[in-house]
Amino acid sequence: MLAAGLEIVECQRVLHKAGLNVVGEVLRGQGKFYEYDHYPENDVHDADSQAQYYYHAHRSLTGEHGHFHTFLRRAGMPADAAPLELPHEEPWPSGDEALAHLIAISMDAYGTPIGLFAPNRWVAGDTWYPARDVIAMLERFRIDHAWPSWPVNRWLGAMLVLFRPHIEQLLLQRDHVIGAWRERFPGVDVLELRELDILAHTWISVDQTIAGVRAALGGRRLRKRS
């Protein structure tokens, strides 16, 4: 986790040195910024890992400019990953087209990550996998090429490592919320309820999380010496 944190800091450093930031990199050359449009156009995909992401904005959290949505396609998933067998009103991507949403990363107007959230199914149009399966997919997210930006692609992969404990808790909370709504509204496809968009959210700080990891590692070293 510490190595991932240092990778995030390094990616941000080289961008800032050139007067750039993570958000600006994915918007560069894309024309006028429109809410709901995907940036870059047609998303970013790695044909080897089957990881995918895009950036966009819509009705947002306080202080948010937009957010990254991260995914893993079927060909990159663990073999035993299986969508939940739930009755659903809207078609889900299936078979080789199945697509799991991993986590969304909120960004402020300065290109700084400020939060993580797990959205409802209708938000990203994904295939609904249980939290345990999505958690097993996190380590497979990797964009190993330089388009649209080498630092941004490395930054995103490192974010999913540094904040993995946070992401795991959000995914478990996501499933708990959906379970509670299904009990409350039997017969309703709660995965498509427009009033239910963000299922779990937390604010984050890269610097504070790195400091926490350093402190934990320091405590372990002290215990080993004693």
Tokens of residue 167, six digits: 């992401």
| Tens digits of residue pLDDT in 25-52 | 999 998 898 889 999 999 999 999 999 9
| Tens digits of residue pLDDT in 83-127 | 999 989 999 999 999 999 999 999 999 999 999 999 999 999 999
List, in order, residues 6 or more apart from 164 with CB less than 8 Å away. 1, 138
98: containing domain: 2-225
Q: Which helix (H) or strand (E) holds 174?
A: helix 164-184
Burial pattern 8-24, b for ≥16 Cβ within 10 A else e, equals: beebbeebeeeebbbbe
Instruction: Tell me the chain's radius of gyration from C-alpha atoms.
Output: 18
Number of domains into which the chain is organized: 1
Burial pattern 70-84, b for ≥16 Cβ within 10 A else e, equals: bbbbbebbeeebebe
List, in order, residues 6 or more apart from 186 with CB less than 8 Å away. none
Q: Are 99 and 71 in contact (CB under 8 A)?
A: yes
| Tens digits of residue pLDDT in 77-94 | 999 999 999 989 999 999
pTM here is 0.94
